[in-house]
Amino acid sequence: MNSAPLSGLYAPSLSLLTDLYQVTMAYGYWQQGLQDREAVFHLYFRRPPFQGGYAVAAGLAFVADYLQNLTFSDDDLAYLGSLRGTKGGAMFPPDFLAYLKEMTFSCDVDAMPEGTVAFANEPLIRVRGPLLQAQLIETALLTLVNFQTLIATKAARIREAAGADTVLEFGLRRAQGPDGGLSASRAAYLGGVDATSNVLAGQRFGIPVKGTHAHSWVMAFEDEEAAFTAYAQAFPDDSVFLVDTYDTLEGVRHAIKVARAMRAQGHELGGIRLDSGDLAYLSREARELLNEAGFPQVRIVASNDLEENLITSLKLQGAKIDTWGIGTQLVTAYNQPALGGVYKLAALRKPDDSGWDFTIKLSEQLAKTSIPGILQVRRYENEQGQPRADMLYNTAEPLPEQLTIVDPLDATRRRNVRPHAPFRELLEPVFRRGRLVGPLPTLEESRARAHREVLSLDTSVRRFLNPHTYPVGLEESLHDYRTKLIVEKRAGRRA
């Protein structure tokens, strides 16, 4: 047991950050001599979160870190060796543990760079390598990518609603524990917020840190005016006063009084914060009071259970809010607390090494039936760089001259790709034979990519209510092959 679990949160070895069944399967594969059979897995989600039209891929930096450090320490192996089955015998024999000790990660990994806009069924990550290894990493990849993609997407939606306004992430106190808070702060920044109140996230990831003060600051002084005056003494050029502890508009008047005194000393008040009541009404009234008093540049910050739909509504109501402070709803993805990303086997090298067997997971629902092959995602874009349609294709098979994209849920819906239509391929090499190909984009670069890619989407795909489904289809020969596999497997099942 680790007596300092927090400091170990991102310790070098997260090799046991997995479900037990990954290790039991690993043992089974090793026992069967299947450990090195070449396999291909895809990580993808089946529906964008929040009933939205897209997701923003995030978490790859953590995945790369995890994979680079995927080795089993003596402590890890001792723990695995201590596990017992129902009859008291060791679950994992010493020679398997010795194998794990020597194992070095040797897979190829291709992935969408963080900040890429992704749609349903598109591999965000493709792993190719020894079956045992490619399977073993499933859980860690999913826990890292699902949550961060969810939060980055939520942040992108909040950014959409806020437009050019400043957005601050205030969620740590409501996050799903320390790691939830830390990774949410990073993903939220990647997805489009401007700064966080989370100081550890600032230190670890270089995210700008910002904030105001709490109600308790005001309550700790004789009255509001004294509290504001004291705060201004500490931060004469960086003060934002929380004005709603007693009576909001009275609070604004007190803030103005202190702002005048600050001005007399050569300092300007930065802003006020509203944290309760009717934010549309109060922000309009506050704006008027501030303007009349000669403080048109003092910003109005609002907080209190905000999210993208409330921001949209407040703007429609003519709220005069310059900065949005957002906590709970963002870092917990309150209205959809999990992204259902999955990791599925899609190809296995034939035992005689003569080629690939492409594998499929059937489901009663076609939408849940997996896609076989060694997939790549090709994004066709128009001259303005706007995405028009995405095509999944099997890189292990030759592409026909004339490309046709088939809707996987309705094969009658097809579109022909015009020759020489410009495209980008979204999965880029990240690891080759277990080695990182090159430095990953910085957080700032990924954030800029997210911003660029979300803005390039048609507004019909970005809107919150009943967004248009962006076309993602299978290249026709892949579609035909998948259909054939489904028919064969179903027949096999009945036989």
Ligand X SMILES: O=C(O)c1cccnc1
Ligand Y SMILES: O=P(O)(O)OC[C@H]1O[C@H](OP(=O)(O)OP(=O)(O)O)[C@H](O)[C@@H]1O
Task: By CB under 6 A, tell whether 169 contacts ligand Y.
Answer: no
> Please, are residues 343 and 141 in contact by the beta-carbon 8 Å criterion?
yes
- d(CA 194, CA 322) in angstroms, rounded, equals 13
> In degrees rounded to 5, what are phi and psi of residue 118?
-125, 155
Q: Segment 210-229, which members bind ligand X (CB under 6 A)?
A: 211-212
Task: By CB under 6 A, tell whether 219 contacts ligand Y.
Answer: no
Q: Which partner from the list ligand Y, ligand X, ligand ATP, none does 174 bind, CB cut-off 5 to 8 Å by kind?
A: ligand Y
**Residue 194 to residues 87, 328, 438, 493: CA-CA distances in angstroms?**
56, 17, 28, 53
Sketch the per residue contact string, 267 through 296, with ligand Y: x for CB under 6 A, - otherwise: --------x---------------------
Stretch that binds ligand Y, among 125-133, 277-285, 302-310, 448-456 (CB under 6 A): 302-310
Rounded to the nearest 10°, the torsion over CA 462, 466, 470, 475 is: 160
Task: By CB under 6 A, tell whether 279 contacts ligand ATP.
Answer: yes
Task: By CB under 6 A, tell whether 174 contacts ligand Y.
Answer: yes
Looking at beta carbons only, is 155 or 371 nearer to ligand Y?
Answer: 155
Q: Which partner from the list ligand ATP, ligand X, ligand Y, none does 191 bind, CB cut-off 5 to 8 Å by kind?
A: none
Burial of 237 (0-12, 13-18, 19+ CB in 10 A): exposed
- d(CA 396, CA 125) in angstroms, rounded, equals 17
The total number of residues written for the chain in this structure? 495
Task: By CB under 6 A, tell whether 306 contacts ligand Y.
Answer: yes
- d(CA 253, CA 259) in angstroms, rounded, equals 10
> Please, are residues 272 and 241 in contact by the beta-carbon 8 Å criterion?
yes
Task: By CB under 6 A, tell whether 180 contacts ligand ATP.
Answer: no
- CB closest to ligand X, residue no: 211
Which of 66, 96, 170, 205 touches ligand X by CB under 6 A?
170
Stretch that binds ligand Y, among 198-206, 292-300, 303-311, 415-423 (CB under 6 A): 303-311
Task: By CB under 6 A, tell whether 216 contacts ligand ATP.
Answer: no
Taking each helix axis from N to C end, the angle separating 308-316 and 279-292, rounded to the nearest 10 degrees, works out to 50
Q: Which partner from the list ligand X, ligand ATP, ligand Y, none does 211 bind, CB cut-off 5 to 8 Å by kind?
A: ligand X
Return the percent helix, strand and coil in the chain, to nearest 5. 40, 20, 40
Residues at the site binding ligand X, with contacts judged by CB under 6 A: 170, 197, 211-212, 273, 303, 325, 327
Residues at the site binding ligand Y, with contacts judged by CB under 6 A: 170, 173-174, 215, 275, 303-306, 325-329
